[in-house]
Amino acid sequence: RQERLDYHSQRGAADAAAPYVERLLRADALVLSYPVWNYGFPAILKGFFDRVFLPGVSFKLVDGKAQPSLHNIRKVAAVTTYGGSRFRAMLMGDPPRKLIKRMLRATVKPGAPVSYLAYYAMNLSTDQTRKAFMTKVAASMDAF
């Protein structure tokens, strides 16, 4: 209850999220690596966004409208795995992809490149398909 009441309040050093907020505000890039769970972020990552991407941190409220403010983040990459196929994810609307490619893109510096590397059908993976994906990830991170 108190966390919700304090949501729009200015945060101080005593706030448990303060070290994460400081790191986010100093960063010039953001790399996320996580498995997709039930077509969404794992709970701990969702909690990170809920507790760190706060008013005054990732956006400012101006006349009741949110204005993105993480313009220090100049590039974003997400590396993720799905148990199911790309087709199944598309049928569900692929919410994790949209959250990264749309919501997060709108929060960081305008025009910042956002890459989304997804390994689908992890439940059917083989050494060969995993190696191919890791080669793709390595090349992308080298260019990052």
**pLDDT-based confidence at 9, cuts 50/70/90?**
confident
pLDDT at residue 61 tops 90: no
The residue-averaged pLDDT of 106-111 equals: 95
> pLDDT tens-digit profile of 97-108?
999 999 999 999
| Domain limits for position 57 | 2-143
Q: Which pTM value belongs to this model?
A: 0.86
Count of structural domains within the chain = 1
pLDDT at residue 42 tops 90: yes
pLDDT at residue 78 tops 80: yes
Domain containing 131 — which CATH number?
3.40.50.360
The residue-averaged pLDDT of 45-72 equals: 91
At residue 73, the pLDDT reads: 97
Q: Which residues contact 135 (CB under 8 A, 6 or more apart)?
A: none
